[in-house]
Structure 1
Amino acid sequence: MALYYVAHRLFAAHDRALGAYIAHHLARRFGPDAVFLPFCDTDEENLDHPCKGRRLFELDSERLARIDAMVAILHGPSLDDGVCMEIGYAAGRGVPILSVTTDFQVYGPTADTALRLPFPDPLLQHVVDRVISVPQLGPPGGEGDRFERFLAQNLHAITRVATEVADALTDWPTPGPAMPPPSVNDQPLAYLEPSLYGGASWTAQVSDALRAHGFATHHAERFTNAAADPTLTASEDWTALAHASLAVVDIRGPETPPGAALVWA
């Protein structure tokens, strides 16, 4: 039996409810034992353990090590770093990743660019195998006051997303190759992921220190090279990460950026 992991933001009731709705829809199609839903299946609300965070990490990692596909729920410009780490873990193993969003926002390197991406970090676009996006509300009409009708329009979009996810998993592609082990070269490669909140001096200092110890370095360029297509530089960053024997990630800032969380995994 295949096992599907539903990765979602955990910290608010509406995020957990959306994850539970999609997991419930998948369980009706594939069976309850085919779906793993964090927080719910680890009983996080009631888990009593002297090192609860570590125990939850172990429980989630145990499932991540044997899943056949991941459904990752991603919304908004500030993506959940925990979900992005789960995506990075799955991508490194070659596990197919299906992303789900009802976000009507799109992103690009500049305001006037013709390039429109579903996520603020193009590295996510590169590692995710398929994006299911339903940004529109459902059809107007129905009964009740205007708020009830508006709620029905939003629930219609969520139902459509869940149905499309189940349909996609029914005919899911075979897993891709796992990230290869680091290349064995005379000069090892170090991958550097700078912080989006600044840190040019950090990059220079870390690069100098690594080169002094015999490393070649690759600096993530999908945000720093404004003249390049970010989808191409994201691919180059991921390829460099696959061949690196060391990754150094700057996680400074009010939150861990999504690409940094993905690389960190």
Structure 2
Amino acid sequence: MALYYVAHRLFAAHDRALGAYIAHHLARRFGPDAVFLPFCDTDEETLDHPCKGRRLFELDSERLDLIDAMVAILHGPSLDDGVCMEIGYAAGRGVPILVVITDFQVYGPTADTALRMPFPDPLLQHLVNRVISVPQLGPPGGENDRFQRFLAQNLHAVTQAAIEVVDALAGSPTPGPAMPPPSINGRRLAYLEPSPYGGDDWTARVTDALRAHGFATHQAGRFTNAAADPTLTAIADWTALAHASLAVVDIRGPETPPGAALVIGACAATGRPVYAPEPGSWWTFAHGREPNYRNLMIQYGLTGTFSDLDGLAKRLEA
């Protein structure tokens, strides 16, 4: 029996309900045992464990190692970092990935570009097998209450997305190539994922530190080379990661950028060490769970963090 993983934002009831709605449609077609729904199937609300966040990461990762396809739900320009990490994990294993979006916006690198993409990071476009986009409202209904009418139009779009997901999985999407494990005796290549938001000279300083420890480096080029085709640079970045023995990602700021989350997931799936600077953001707290400095899939997917370049050097020498 095939196993399908529904990756979705977890932190509000409407997001969990949307994940459950998609999972319900999949279960009707393929059977309830063919679907894994995080939070629901890890019993997150009532799970009792001394290190609950790590245990949830382990339970989700165990399923990610077994799945035959992933359905990921993404909305808007600020993409959920946990979902992106799970997509990276599945892509690292070569698992087919279907992404559901109901966002009516598309994205491009500049205001005057002819390029339009469904995501604000072209690496996502490269990794997914199919984008199921239902951006428009459904047909107007006959309800007298305009809010009920508007609700019905939105629910119609969600139902259409669920139907298309089921049909796509029934067609057995083709797996992609799995990322090889890191080479122990091969070239010492470090993959560097800078922040897409720019900022200080962090990238240059980390590059110098890596080279001082004998690493050649590949700096992700999707956002640094404005003249390049972002689709081709996304392919080049993913190819470089597949040849790298480790990765360093910039997760500083209020949230983890989508590309960094994808890289963390791929590294976790393939056994590559992946390091990040301490994010310097507020901590989050949830009932029964240890404090988290990031989404638990990011926090526990990382091999380790560092506070400064000396800390990175110690990680590299360990």
Give how far 1:246 is off. Answer: 1.1
The aligned runs of 1:193-208 (5 Å cut-off) are 193-208=193-208
Aligned residue number for residue 147 of structure 2: 147
- Say whether the 8 Å CA contact 1:195–1:253 is kept in structure 2: no
Q: Aligned partners of 1:39 and 1:184: how far apart in 2? A: 36
Give how far 1:45 is off. Answer: 1.0
Q: Aligned partners of 1:35 and 1:164: how far apart in 2? A: 16
Q: Aligned partners of 2:127 and 2:237: how far apart in 1? A: 11
| 1:21-52, Cα deviation, whole Å (9 max, x unpaired) | 00000000000000000000011111111111
Aligned residue number for residue 249 of structure 2: 249
- Say whether the 8 Å CA contact 2:91–2:127 is kept in structure 1: yes
The letter for the 2-side match of 1:95 is V
The letter for the 1-side match of 2:168 is A
The letter for the 1-side match of 2:49 is H
Q: Aligned partners of 2:245 and 2:180: how far apart in 1? A: 11
Give how far 1:176 is off. Answer: 2.1
- Say whether the 8 Å CA contact 2:188–2:216 is kept in structure 1: yes
Q: Aligned partners of 1:184 and 1:40: how far apart in 2? A: 39
- Say whether the 8 Å CA contact 1:197–1:252 is kept in structure 2: no
Aligned residue number for residue 88 of structure 1: 88
Give how far 1:185 is off. Answer: 6.9
The aligned runs of 1:44-83 (5 Å cut-off) are 44-83=44-83
Give how far 1:181 is off. Answer: 2.8
Runs of 4+ in 1 over 6 A off after TM superposition: none
* More off after superposition, 141-150 vs 27-36: 141-150
Q: Secondary structure of 1:218's match? A: strand
Aligned residue number for residue 131 of structure 1: 131
Q: Aligned partners of 1:73 and 1:173: how far apart in 2? A: 17
Q: Aligned partners of 1:9 and 1:99: how far apart in 2? A: 13
The aligned runs of 1:113-192 (5 Å cut-off) are 113-183=113-183, 187-192=187-192
The letter for the 2-side match of 1:157 is A
TM-score normalised by structure 2 residue count: 0.81
Does residue 25 of structure 1 match 2:21? no
% identical aligned pairs: 88
Q: Aligned partners of 1:197 and 1:113: how far apart in 2? A: 19
| 1:121-147, Cα deviation, whole Å (9 max, x unpaired) | 111111111100000000113223111
Q: Aligned partners of 2:116 and 2:74: how far apart in 1? A: 16
Aligned residue number for residue 210 of structure 1: 210
| 1:143-192, Cα deviation, whole Å (9 max, x unpaired) | 23111111110000000000000000000223222102335676411100
The letter for the 2-side match of 1:160 is Q
Aligned residue number for residue 236 of structure 1: 236
Aligned-pair RMSD on alpha carbons? Answer: 1.2
Q: Secondary structure of 1:205's match? A: helix
Q: Aligned partners of 2:186 and 2:255: how far apart in 1? A: 37
- Say whether the 8 Å CA contact 1:92–1:178 is kept in structure 2: yes
**Equivalent residue pairs, number:** 265
Aligned residue number for residue 110 of structure 1: 110
Q: Aligned partners of 1:176 and 1:224: how far apart in 2? A: 27
Give how far 1:200 is off. Answer: 4.7
Q: Aligned partners of 1:168 and 1:142: how far apart in 2? A: 31
Give structure 2 stretches of 5+ with no counterpart. 266-318
The letter for the 2-side match of 1:13 is A
Q: Aligned partners of 1:186 and 1:33: how far apart in 2? A: 41
| 1:6-27, Cα deviation, whole Å (9 max, x unpaired) | 0000000110000000000000
